[in-house]
Amino acid sequence: MTPPADITDSGVEPRPSSGARKLNMRSWWWYLAVGISPTFATQLTGVGSQYVFAFADQEGRPLDGGKHYRLVLPPDIPAARFWSVTGYDNQTRSMIDTPQRFPRAGSQDYPGPAAVTDADGTTTVRFGPDRPDGVPEGNWIRTTPARGWFVVLRLYSPLQPFFDRTWRPGEIEAVG
């Protein structure tokens, strides 16, 4: 019933109980990640990692592997080390199984090309069973028709704009 404590410059700051049991959320997280780490739930600027999940598009519809979507990340993605967007199968919780092999887009150029930033400083990641014309390879995550999926944005060594919410990722938008 008590959320994990915040780690601040002043030390450990306990959070008050919300009065509600978090059993379902804890079970979901265990099922999804098969493990737990206090750093998944603490605010450590420039240390560790933070994860943002999306299971539906901006209209609340489950993500469909046969359709096309986009995610626009605002400029200055708050990750001191690197960031990554990865697609997962919603039944197996494994990375989407496609010929793409690594269904991810990110700031690193391994294991595939890094995502290309748009002229306005945003980064657009596209999802779909085929790569749309003009979309760089590093900005596309291949999905599988007739399969559901979800996506995780990871920020490695997250920066303060993530924690104070002055930077927020866009929503998954259905396109075409």
**Predicted pLDDT of residue 169:** 97
Residue 80 has pLDDT above 80, yes or no: yes
Q: Are 52 and 152 in contact (CB under 8 A)?
A: yes
pLDDT tens across 95-136, in order?
999 999 899 999 999 888 999 999 999 999 999 999 999 999
What are the tokens at 163? 């924690």
- What separation in angstroms does the CA of 132 have from each of 80, 92, 147? 30, 26, 19
What are the tokens at 112? 């595939």
pTM over 0.85: no
pLDDT tens across 132-170, in order?
999 999 999 999 999 999 999 999 999 999 999 999 999
Beta-bridge partners for 89: 149
- Phi and psi at 7, nearest 5°, equal -105, 120
Question: Can you tell me the distance from the alpha carbon of 26 to that of 152, in angstroms, rounded to the nearest whole number?
Answer: 18
